[in-house]
């Protein structure tokens, strides 16, 4: 079963060919980040125009890399929301045209579901776990200790149901209980900024570049995460699993205005403290949810999963609770079409096929 998948919900144009819901035959991603950088954020009009320019060559490249022709495709999958309407429309129109002309099924995929399914791809994703957990218990897989003393599986392994998925990107911050294929419960979401958005906005305010997440991650390594004490928002039980990041963002902005950090050390301390506040909240709520819902695994998804402090601290906390942490390789954490092809495979298996009236849904929800 070979699925051609398209993803154009935001500022990445991507096409992939995925076999049997797990094997990535190709995954081509064209990032537009250079075109949006000077604006410090994504300009929707530019995004949709750029998608139109590159979608056809990207599809061709994905087929060529997979070494197949259109005729060998069994189904066409495409993201239909959430995202920017003008961007989504480009992928949807292309997918419809291909599916229609080939007489193959069209499968509309929820982008958020796609992010979760990045954890089901055969992509040498990491399972980070206490060594003791595996001792003698899973002899079908070979585990190699990596430098950090963590365990990395040499073959792909998918999270066991039920698991908690922390989906953190530039547009979303969600804590999801994944009970089985296609069965999700959103436990909490951000009430204002997404985690990645907070990183991007602080970086923009400091004038240190775009996108802010990777830049702050790198700078924070030189700083003291305890230098400035920012409040950890909404950790009290009454807020459940919701998040809020705009308060931290304002506190950081006020700190910058009052203290005027000028040296690279001062800026490093500030961004390290900001990052630590965000990571503490994400980790605490993920662990709490896994324990409450008796999950033995936490899966990460979305661009912010690339954050080194988040990975390190989630793994450290999970280890103490005997919970496995699944983290797809960075290229499958950020927007890509392979995750859409993977999600579509399970929809096709459940006979969930779209009709040709499929339209973009900008604020599509999960479940």
| Rounded CA separation 5/258 (Å) | 49
Q: Where are the alpha helices (DSSP H) in the chain?
A: 33-37, 44-66, 85-102, 111-117, 131-134, 195-206, 212-220, 246-259, 264-292, 308-321, 330-333, 338-349
Smaller CB separation from ligand KG4, 3 or 306:
306
Q: By CB under 6 A, which span of 55-63, 145-153, 210-218, 226-234 interacts with ligand KG4?
A: 210-218
Sites for ligand KG4 among residues 322-351 (CB under 6 A): 334-335
Does 304 participate in binding ligand KG4 (rule CB under 6 A)? Answer: yes
Closest separation between CB of residue 9 and Zn ion, Å? 7
Q: How far is CA 154 from the centre of its chain?
A: 22
Among 93, 100, 57, 56, residue whose Cα is nearest residue 78: 93
Closest separation between CB of residue 281 and ligand KG4, Å? 14
Closest separation between CB of residue 249 and Zn ion, Å? 20
Q: Helix axis angle, 264-292 relative to 246-259, nearest 10°?
A: 160
Does 335 participate in binding Zn ion (rule CB under 5 A)? Answer: yes
Does 169 participate in binding Zn ion (rule CB under 5 A)? Answer: yes
| Rounded CA separation 306/327 (Å) | 9
102, two tokens = 């080939």
When binding is defined by CB under 6 A, the residue of 212, 223, 328, 360 that contacts ligand KG4 is: 212
Does 307 participate in binding ligand KG4 (rule CB under 6 A)? Answer: yes
Q: Helix axis angle, 195-206 relative to 264-292, nearest 10°?
A: 170
Smaller CB separation from ligand KG4, 302 or 360:
302
Does 214 participate in binding ligand KG4 (rule CB under 6 A)? Answer: yes
Residue 334 binds which entry of ligand KG4, Zn ion, none, CB below 5-8 Å type-dependent: ligand KG4
Backbone angles phi, psi at 100, to 5 degrees: -65, -50
Smaller CB separation from ligand KG4, 105 or 196:
196
Per-residue contact string for residues 262-301; x = within reach of ligand KG4 by CB under 6 A: ----------------------------------------
């Amino acid at each position: 079963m070979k699925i051609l998948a398209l993803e154009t919900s935001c500022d990445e144009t991507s096409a992939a060919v995925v076999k049997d819901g797990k094997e990535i035959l190709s995954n081509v991603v064209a990032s537009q980040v250079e075109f949006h950088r000077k604006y410090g954020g994504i300009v929707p009009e530019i995004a949709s125009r750029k998608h139109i320019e590159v979608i056809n060559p990207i599809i061709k490249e994905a087929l060529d890399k997979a070494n197949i022709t259109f005729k060998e495709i069994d189904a066409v999958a495409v993201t239909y929301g959430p995202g920017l309407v003008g961007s989504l429309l480009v992928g949807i129109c292309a997918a419809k045209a291909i599916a229609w002309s080939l007489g193959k099924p069209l499968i509309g995929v929820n982008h958020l579901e796609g992010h979760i399914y990045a954890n089901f791809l055969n992509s040498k994703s990491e399972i980070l776990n206490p060594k003791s957990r595996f001792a003698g218990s899973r002899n079908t897989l070979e585990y190699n200790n990596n430098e950090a003393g963590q365990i990395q599986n040499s073959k792909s392994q998918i999270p066991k149901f039920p698991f908690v998925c922390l989906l953190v990107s530039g547009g979303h911050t969600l804590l999801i209980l994944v009970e089985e294929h296609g069965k999700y419960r959103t436990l909490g979401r951000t009430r204002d900024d997404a985690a990645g958005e907070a990183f991007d906005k602080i970086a923009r305010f400091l004038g240190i570049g775009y996108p802010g997440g990777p830049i702050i991650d790198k700078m924070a390594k030189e700083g003291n995460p305890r230098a400035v004490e920012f409040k950890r928002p909404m950790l009290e039980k009454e807020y459940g699993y919701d998040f809020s990041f705009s308060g931290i963002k304002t506190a950081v902005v006020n700190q910058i205005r009052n203290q005027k950090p000028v040296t690279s050390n001062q800026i490093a301390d500030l961004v390290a403290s900001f990052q630590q506040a965000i990571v503490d909240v994400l980790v605490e709520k993920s662990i709490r949810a896994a324990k409450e819902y008796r999950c033995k695994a936490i899966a990460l998804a979305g661009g912010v999963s690339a954050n080194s402090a988040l990975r390190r601290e989630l793994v450290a906390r999970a280890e103490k609770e005997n919970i496995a942490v699944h983290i797809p390789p960075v290229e499958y954490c950020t927007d890509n079409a392979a995750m859409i092809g993977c999600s579509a495979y399970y929809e096709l298996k459940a006979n969930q096929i779209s009709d040709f009236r499929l339209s973009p849904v900008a604020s599509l929800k999960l479940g």
